[in-house]
């Protein structure tokens, strides 16, 4: 009976299809089987309308068009009278995609890769895509060196014609580079050549650098580095003949073989400058980085082209092309270099646009501009303006674009886009410091007050070391020419003993005014006039107060009115205020207490910080801090409460704050009149952090040296470099939402008997 029913059904379907394929004039079209797809979508793809003739050719077109949409897995054409019935079975939609087992690659990154090949939530599911999915995921993992990855997919039907896709990943271990062989090299050893490679065999830093994980893109980049290395050594005809990459059967080890043909060394026979020379040749020739008789170097030739282009850019020809054309003579093994200059048109700046500054006033940004509107465009001025904005410290990022003005050939707009960072803070609460202990503070500090670029601060700080009340104001543009002005009023009570110094306290009321005059783009002259009224008090227990302090009080009393002036020169070409990567800052300051006060003394100080980029994300920093002070007139030496101190986070790390140098008769740190501190540090990014966090967090390895020395009164007190203290360690710096945090772990290298060692140190709120 069942067999008979099947025969009847097949016969009925055959008759329906046969009738549907017979020619007839369509009176109406109906669509059956739709669930998610609208009927209008189907009608848009049908090549026939009511009133038109239907035949086999049209039937084939309908079926072909509907299958091409990818929305249906089955299409049938039926006929009821003169009504054409389109019967479809929709493909299921993807309701959810779940990936499990992935650790090396983030789920979001994998989903993006799958979306690029058409597999994403909401899309129509096509089972043929699963093979492409597995291939794409393998490609992603192969790029991370995971050649043993296993991928399985499961498709589970759910309600409303939908499916859930589950992708199970077993990553396995990354294959490591076991060996890199270079064949054909005669002039340089494998060891020398492999130094230019990013890839390499497993080393003690491979967990961080991932240099032992093979990737096709990395190898291509390394081959280009190898080619550049040879080209910079004069090997003009150098060629990479072939590369072979093989993996062991267990997919754990990779062997790379590179076949090279070095060729011969070529020297430069002649260097010529031709084209339209807008700038006199006498000004361009000093920019040449390569000359006759030297080995050919592609890098130096490229640097020459770039230097000439930048020089032309300063004259307004910012789209200038300087092409290096080599003429190679294989017989003499020489190269003639011709630098062809095509300056293009001189370009002018129509408008300077600024966006992204929701708080900072336009005036604050525009006064930093070195490129003017309606003036000749200059590459160096546009870039310098960007640098000055970065140095303000008000912005996380600063970007600049120079689009051409539509309809013109000689005008551009300069568009600066900024992302503001919080430039002030309001705090009230408790804190803790290694030196100051428990701190209660309340402060309002705004470096960009109301977006005007002025700095205003009100501070209250109470700790076991000091109690401070302070009001300060500073205007960096008191005049349009960049003359700065400010004032500072404060009261400070200090317990020196709690700061690891001798036993005494000071109460100081101070007021001062300051001003700065720009001397050049990078130099400023600074002046300060300060008045201080200081009350000095020895320890309540006189037996614990050192003889030096008691003698000073006996001679000079306990209250001192001091009027001092200071003059300073600052040279600052750092590229930005926060985490600079190149440039430097030098400060030379001379201050003196006027003889009309109760004490007369002077202090000289020189500070240097210099940053050199060594490679991508690697920055070398060198810092110096040298100081000297002495008394004059009726004051025969520098007052002890004006002494220099060393040791601590911002000095010689690994030694307790302020404890290095001379000691008083009670064996307490006493500071000295001479200071020398130097530091060398290599900064590097923190692994495994995203790009946004990288901009506010960095680590470093450092070497510190320094000490303070007593007065020059006796021969044995003169500074001796053998008395310097040294330390080395690792540091971390974080620009947290609550202020800058600096942490260090240091090992003192030559601590002596009375030195106080403190290997772990931190500082919260100190400048870097």
Predicted confidence (pLDDT) per residue in 488-542, tens digit: 999 988 876 665 566 778 889 999 999 999 999 999 999 999 999 999 888 666 5
Task: Map tokens 């030195």 to a residue.
Answer: 755
Q: Is 393 left (phi over 0), alpha (psi -120 to 50) or beta?
A: left
Residue 10: the pLDDT is 39
What whole-number distance in Å separates Cα of residue 667 and Cα of residue 645? 15
Is there a contact between 226 and 260 (Cβ–Cβ < 8 Å)?
A: yes
Q: Which residues pair with 153 in a beta bridge?
A: 167
768: confidence class by pLDDT, cuts 50, 70, 90:
very low
According to the model, what pLDDT value does residue 766 have? Answer: 45
**Residue 719: predicted pLDDT:** 64
Instruction: Read off the tokens for 247.
Output: 């993996």
Triad 496, 502, 506: Cα angle to 5° = 40
Question: What pLDDT does 457 receive?
Answer: 85
Q: Which helix (H) or strand (E) holds 471?
A: strand 466-475
pLDDT of residue 710: 83
For 361, 388, 484, the CA distances from 371, given in Å and listed in that order, are 18, 12, 22
Residue ranges with strand state E in 519-660:
523-538, 559-572, 583-593, 601-615, 618-631
> Does 8 have pLDDT greater than 70?
no
Least confident piece of the model among 563-577, 621-635, 703-717, 718-732: 703-717
Please identify, in words, the CATH class of the domain defined by 267-342: alpha beta
- Mean per-residue pLDDT, 739-749: 85
Arithmetic mean of pLDDT over the chain: 85
Mean pLDDT computed over 397-418: 93
pLDDT confidence bin for 767, thresholds 50/70/90:
very low
CATH superfamily of this structure's domain 348-420? membrane protein fhac (3.10.20.310)
Alpha helix segments (H runs only) across 354-462: 362-366, 379-392
203-207, 587-591, 671-675: which is most confident: 587-591
DSSP result, 23-92: -EE-SEEEEES-SSS-HHHHHHH-S--TTSEE-HHHHHHHHHHHHHTTSEEEEEEEEETTEEEEEEEEPP
Which tops the pLDDT comparison, 251 or 347?
A: 347
Asked whether 287 and 310 are in contact (CB, 8 A), the reply is no
What is the rounded distance in angstroms from the CA atom of residue 739 to the CA atom of residue 502? 30
Residue 197 is given by DSSP the state -
What is the per-residue pLDDT across 159-176, written as a single tens digit (0 to 9) for each?
878 888 888 888 888 888
Mode of pairing for the β-strands spanning 760-764 and 455-462: unpaired
pLDDT-wise least confident of 209-218, 227-236, 394-403 = 209-218
> Residue 751 and residue 760: Cα distance in Å, rounded?
15
Count CB atoms within 10 A of the CB of residue 648: 24
Q: Which among 563, 565, 581 is positioned nearest to 573, based on CA atoms?
A: 581
Let me know how many helices (H) and strands (E) the chain has, helices first. 14, 33
Report pLDDT for 4. Answer: 38
Segment 204-224 mean pLDDT: 84
Say if residue 438's pLDDT is above 80: no
Second CATH level (architecture) for the domain 504-533+543-764 = Beta Barrel (2.40)
pLDDT tens-place string over residues 326-356: 999 999 999 999 999 999 999 999 999 999 9
313 membership: H or E segment, kind and range? helix 298-313
pLDDT (0 to 100) of residue 93: 84
What is the longest distance spanned by two Cα atoms in the chain?
130
Using DSSP's 3-state secondary structure scheme, residue 423 falls into coil
Enumerate residues 6+ apart whose C-beta is below 8 A from 650: 763, 766
Check for a shared fold between 2-90 and 176-261: yes
Mean pLDDT, residues 88-114 taken together: 84
CB count in 10 Å sphere of residue 716: 7
Tokens of 224: 């280009």
What does the alpha-carbon distance between residue 220 and residue 245 come to, in Å, rounded to a whole number?
A: 12
| Portion of the chain with pLDDT greater than 70, in percent | 89
Contacts with 425 (C-beta within 8 Å, 6 or more apart), sequence order: 443, 444, 445, 738, 739
Structure tokens, 383: 């870039």
Mean pLDDT for 571-597 is 91
Q: Look at residue 716 in the predicted model and tell me its pLDDT.
A: 44
Which region among 207-221, 259-273, 675-689 has the lowest average model confidence (pLDDT)? 207-221
Collect all residues with Cβ–Cβ distance below 8 Å to 32 and sequence separation of at least 6.
Answer: 85, 86, 87, 88
What number is the average pLDDT over the span 583-602? 93
Give DSSP secondary structure letters for 393-419: SSEEEEEEE-PBPTT-SSEEEEEEEEE
What pTM does this model have? 0.69
- The residue extents of the domains of the chain are 2-90, 93-170, 176-261, 267-342, 348-420, 504-533+543-764
CA distances for 411 relative to 351, 375, 381, 408, angstroms: 9, 10, 16, 6
Which fold does the domain 2-90 belong to in CATH? Ubiquitin-like (UB roll) (3.10.20)
Percentage of residues of the chain with pLDDT beyond 90: 42
Q: For position 498, what pLDDT does the model report? A: 63
Instruction: Please state, in angstroms and rounded to a whole number, the distance separating the CA atoms of residues 21 and 43.
Output: 19
Instruction: List the strands of the sheet with 348-355, edge to edge.
Output: 348-355, 411-420, 395-401
- Cα dihedral 187/192/196/199 (nearest 10): 120
pLDDT in tens, 410-422: 999 999 999 987 7
Per-residue pLDDT at 404: 92
Architecture of the domain delimited by 93-170: Roll (3.10)
- Distances from the Cα of 392 to the Cαs of 423, 454, 579, 607, 766, in angstroms? 10, 11, 12, 21, 18
Query: Residue 240 is inside which H or E element, if any?
Result: strand 239-247
Calpha distance 21→16 (Å, rounded): 9
Q: Is the pLDDT of residue 107 over 70?
A: yes
- Whether residue 465 contacts residue 435, with contact meaning beta carbons closer than 8 Å, is answered with yes
Q: What is the DSSP letter of 376?
A: B
Q: Which two tokens stand for residue 639?
A: 């007052």
Domain 176-261 class in CATH: alpha beta
């Amino acid at each position: 009976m069942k067999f008979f029913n099947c025969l009847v059904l097949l016969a009925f379907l055959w008759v329906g299809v046969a009738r549907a394929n017979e020619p007839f004039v369509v009176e109406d079209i109906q669509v059956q089987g739709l669930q998610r797809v609208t009927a209008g979508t189907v009608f848009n793809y049908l090549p026939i309308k009511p009133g038109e003739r239907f035949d086999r050719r049209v039937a084939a077109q309908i079926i072909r068009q509907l299958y091409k949409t990818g929305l249906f897995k089955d299409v049938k054409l039926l006929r009821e009278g003169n009504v054409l019935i389109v019967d479809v079975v929709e493909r299921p939609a993807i309701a959810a995609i779940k990936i499990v087992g992935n650790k090396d690659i983030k789920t979001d990154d994998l989903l993006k890769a799958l979306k690029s090949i058409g597999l994403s939530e909401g899309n129509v599911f096509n089972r043929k895509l699963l093979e492409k999915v597995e291939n794409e995921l393998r490609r992603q993992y192969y790029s991370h060196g995971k050649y043993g990855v296993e991928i399985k997919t499961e498709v589970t039907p759910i309600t409303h014609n939908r499916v859930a896709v589950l992708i199970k990943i077993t990553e396995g271990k990354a294959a490591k580079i076991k060996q890199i062989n270079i064949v054909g090299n005669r002039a340089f050893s494998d060891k020398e050549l492999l130094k230019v490679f990013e890839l390499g065999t497993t080393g003690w830093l491979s967990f961080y650098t991932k240099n032992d994980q093979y990737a096709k893109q990395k190898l291509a980049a390394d081959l280009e580095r190898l080619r550049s290395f040879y080209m910079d050594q004069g090997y003009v005809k150098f060629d990479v003949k072939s590369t072979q990459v093989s993996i062991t059967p267990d997919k754990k080890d990779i062997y790379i073989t590179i076949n090279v043909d070095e060729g011969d060394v070529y020297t430069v026979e002649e260097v010529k400058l031709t084209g339209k020379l807008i700038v006199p040749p006498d000004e361009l020739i000093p920019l040449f980085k390569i000359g006759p008789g030297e080995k050919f170097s592609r890098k130096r030739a490229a640097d020459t082209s770039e230097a000439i282009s930048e020089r032309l850019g300063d004259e307004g020809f910012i789209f200038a092309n300087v092409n290096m054309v080599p003429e190679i003579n294989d017989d003499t093994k020489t190269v003639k270099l011709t630098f062809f200059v095509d300056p293009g048109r001189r370009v002018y700046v129509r408008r300077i646009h600024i966006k992204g500054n929701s708080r900072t006033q336009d005036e604050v940004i525009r006064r930093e501009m070195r490129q003017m509107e309606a003036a000749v465009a200059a590459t160096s001025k546009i870039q310098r303006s960007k640098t000055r904005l970065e140095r303000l410290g008000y912005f996380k990022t600063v970007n600049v674009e120079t689009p051409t003005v539509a309809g013109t050939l000689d005008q551009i707009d300069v568009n600066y886009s900024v992302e503001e960072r919080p430039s002030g803070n309001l705090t009230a609460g408790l804190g803790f410091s290694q030196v100051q202990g428990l701190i209660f503070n309340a402060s309002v500090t705004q470096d960009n007050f109301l977006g005007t670029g002025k700095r205003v601060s009100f501070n209250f700080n109470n700790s076991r070391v000091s109690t401070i009340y302070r009001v300060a104001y500073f205007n960096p543009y008191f005049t349009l020419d960049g003359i700065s002005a400010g004032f500072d009023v404060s009261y400070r009570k200090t317990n020196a003993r709690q700061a690891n110094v001798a036993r005494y306290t000071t109460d100081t009321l101070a007021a001062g005014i300051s001003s700065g005059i720009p001397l050049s783009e990078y130099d400023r002259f600074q002046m300060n006039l300060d008045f201080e009224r200081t009350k000095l008090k020895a320890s309540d227990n006189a037996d614990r107060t050192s003889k030096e302090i008691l003698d000073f009080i006996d001679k000079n009393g306990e209250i001192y009115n001091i009027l001092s002036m200071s003059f300073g020169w600052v040279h600052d070409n750092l590229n930005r205020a926060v985490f600079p990567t190149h440039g430097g800052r030098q400060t030379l300051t001379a201050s003196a207490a006027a003889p009309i006060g109760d004490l007369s003394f002077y202090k000289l100080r020189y500070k240097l910080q210099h940053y050199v980029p060594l490679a991508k994300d690697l920055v070398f920093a060198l810092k110096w801090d040298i100081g000297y002070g002495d008394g004059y007139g009726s004051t025969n030496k520098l007052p002890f409460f004006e002494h220099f101190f060393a040791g601590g986070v911002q000095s010689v790390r690994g030694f307790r704050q302020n404890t290095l140098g001379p000691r008083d008769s009670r064996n307490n740190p006493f500071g000295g009149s001479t200071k020398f501190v130097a530091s060398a540090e290599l900064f590097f990014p923190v692994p495994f952090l995203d790009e946004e966090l990288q901009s506010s967090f960095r680590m470093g390895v450092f070497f510190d040296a320094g000490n303070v020395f007593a007065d020059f009164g006796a021969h044995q007190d003169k500074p001796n470099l053998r008395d310097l203290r040294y330390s080395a360690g690792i540091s971390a710096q974080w620009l947290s939402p609550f202020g800058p945090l600096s942490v260090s772990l240091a090992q003192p290298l030559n601590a002596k008997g009375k030195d106080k060692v403190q290997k772990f140190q931190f500082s919260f709120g100190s400048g870097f």
